[in-house]
Amino acid sequence: MSTAAAKGRRQLRTSWVSRVAHESLIWLPAFLLVVWTATPVLWAFMASLKDPLEIYESASLLPRSPSLDAYRAVITMRGFPRWFLNSVLVTAVATVVPLVLSLVAAYAFARYAFRLRHVLLLLFLIPRILPRVALIVPLYDLLHGLGILNSYAGLFLTYIASAVPLATWLLVGFVAGVPRELEESAAIDGASLWVRLRYVVVPMIWPGIVTAAVLCVREAWNEFPFVLAFTNTVEMRTLPYQLYVLEDAMGIQDWAVYNAFTIMTILPLLVLYLLLERRIVSNIVSGALK
């Protein structure tokens, strides 16, 4: 009896060790990745709370006397409200319009078996394959010919054209996963194409739409080469562009202000990521329960 009990304890101990080792192989790389990506953001945030001279004098991560002076300097900086508004405006347009266009295009690619469908879908991806730097010269000539350089219209056009291919490719798979029987049942009840798209397809692929929206927001908010090449006035700058020229604009190396401007630039995107991530999870869970 004691031998069997000892054997059972050894098996239990071996099973526990094996489970811990297995979980460590899964969570340890994830933990290291989080530390690797979060450390620069944490350092920038802590540096933004320090006195400018303290950044040079102390190697400590924590500030001796935390202060929000750098954030006050950023918020009161001349032009900051306009730069923030520019980023919000181009991001909103470059998210909503591509989602509408991509949804219609993805539905056509997924539901209609027309000739050269796969070739055309592949051509959609070519602008995503080419580096953005390679597109600046032809796009500059195009915008110059249209007379919309250094304008919202020029930024809207380039941002929308850049976001549509990625969103279309992403949504095609989601639309193809919607059972045709649901649309056929709605069609028998008299639902038109747009009604089926609005009330049948869109609710079924909502997680995909949110995911595409996240990618569109990220690209538009962080976009830098296009706004650098197609604008030439301070009033048309976005936050990433102004962050790039901040040192020249200030004339001094105030690293506390630089880091505060960096945090202010990425904070809306981080908050939006967290909110949309929760929405994606809730939609996936609700879809599974149904």
CATH code at 225?
A: 1.10.3720.10
Residues 8 and 89 in one domain: no
What pLDDT is attached to residue 19? 65
Residue with tokens 């030439």: 232
Burial group, residue 225, by CB count within 10 angstroms (0-12, 13-18, 19+): middle
Per-residue pLDDT at 21: 59
In terms of residue numbers, what domain contains 47? 2-57
Instruction: Write down the pLDDT at residue 239.
Output: 93
Burial of 109 (0-12, 13-18, 19+ CB in 10 A): buried
Note whether residue 169 is domain-resident. yes
Residue with tokens 């004339």: 251
pLDDT given for residue 286 in this prediction: 42
Do 232 and 113 share a domain, yes or no?
yes
Q: Is residue 279 part of a domain?
A: no
Residues 9, 126, single domain; the answer is no
Domain assignment of residue 271, yes or no: no
Residue 171: inside a domain, yes or no? yes
87 lies in some domain: yes
Q: Which domain-ending residue is among 229, 244, 259?
A: 244
Whether residues 51 and 87 share a domain: the answer is no
Q: What is the pLDDT of residue 34?
A: 79
- Residue at 107 is within a domain: yes
Q: Return the ∠ at Cα 90 (arms to 83 and 202), rounded to 5°.
A: 145
Long-range pairs for 198-201: beta carbons < 8 A, 24 or more residues apart:
201/107, 201/175
pLDDT of 112: 84
* Separation CA 10–CA 40 (nearest Å): 45
Residues 31 and 168 in one domain: no
Q: Which whole-number Å values give the CA distances from 123 to 8, 82, 118, 119, 120, in the listed order?
A: 62, 37, 9, 6, 5
**Residue 86 and residue 36 in one domain:** no
Q: Tokens 């706004």 appear where?
A: 227
**Residue 109 to residue 284: CA distance in whole angstroms:** 24
Q: Which amino acid is at 143?
A: L
54: its two tokens: 């303290």
**What is the residue-level pLDDT of the chain in tens, covering all 290 positions?**
456 555 555 555 556 556 655 666 777 777 788 788 888 888 889 988 888 778 777 777 788 888 898 899 999 988 899 999 999 999 999 999 999 999 999 998 888 877 877 788 778 777 778 888 888 999 999 999 999 999 999 999 999 998 998 889 888 888 888 888 888 888 888 888 888 888 888 888 888 888 888 889 989 999 989 999 999 898 999 999 998 888 766 656 788 888 999 999 998 888 887 777 666 555 444 433 34
- Please give the DSSP secondary-structure letter assigned to residue 236: G
Please check whether residues 53 and 92 belong to one and the same domain.
no
Tell me: do 92 and 207 sit in the same domain: yes
Residue 35's alpha-carbon distances to 39, 43, 240, in angstroms, are: 6, 12, 24
Contacts of 156 (CB under 8 A, 6+ apart): 90, 93, 94, 97
pLDDT of residue 1: 47
pTM as predicted: 0.80
End-to-end Cα distance, the chain = 51
**For the chain, what is the domain count?**
2
Q: Do 86 and 175 fall within a single domain?
A: yes
Q: Does residue 50 sit in the same domain as residue 91?
A: no
The C-alpha atoms of residue 94 and residue 125 are separated, in whole angstroms, by 17
Give 92-152 as a DSSP string: HHHHHHHHHHHHHHHHHHHH---TTHHHHHHHHHHHHHS-HHHHHHHHHHHHHHHT-TTSH
- Residue 17: inside a domain: yes
**37 and 150 share one domain:** no
pLDDT of residue 5: 54
Claim to verify: residue 93 and residue 43 sit in the same structural domain? no
Residues 269 and 41: their CA atoms lie apart, in Å, by 13
Residue 69, domain member (yes or no): no
